[in-house]
Amino acid sequence: MIFGLDPVIIALRIPILLIVITVHEFAHARMAYHFGDSTAHSQGRMNLNPINHLDPIGSLMILLVGFGWAKPVPINPYNFSQYRSGLRWVSFAGPLSNLVLAFACLLVFTYLVNAGLIVFGGLPFEFFQQLIIINIYLALFNLVPIPPLDGSKILMSFLPDSYLGIYQQLERYGPILLLMFIFLGVFRIIIFPLANFILQFYSIIISFLPGL
């Protein structure tokens, strides 16, 4: 699965970006609503309109390097029926939705390839490859425990209250750290091997399904 600055690949990533970002943010908003917080719903973010969820820099990162972030869904964790559990599951909902979508897309992709409806090297082939791997990359990237990524909030949901001050201090420098690590290639070293492992794991599961 090729990543780079190939104009064809970047063009394919535009509709993919709209899909993965929308699913990710909708999952956050829907889970927050489930736990009793209607902030995202009242601000028009609990929907599948991609324009409401795009972040300029995060979207550019997805187009260029395959992982990035969206405009965070507004939540008020103090509205949750269960504060820590709500924060944990609302934060995890986004990455989880991308992992589930990646598996579903791989399942459809495998069926279409085996049926001869998609040929190697064609645009549909490349589209599905990019769609699958970007979903996995986005999920893994957002699980990194650096603010404002989802992983930081998942981690915070497990920490005792005495550590919240440290988190708030780190939150101010989070975006700078993220951009620095992206351009230094730190995340590539971590995310790419994990993504390949998940992809192989998915492929093994699918290989046991009848008809595939």
Enumerate the active-site residues. Answer: 25
* Closest listed residue to residue 182, CA positions, set 17, 98, 61: 61
Residue 180: phi and psi, rounded to 5, are -65, -45
Residue 126 to residue 107: CA distance in whole angstroms: 15
Is the separation of the CB atoms in 113 and 123 below 8 Å?
Answer: no
| End-to-end Cα distance, the chain | 21
Residue 105 to residue 109: CA distance in whole angstroms: 6
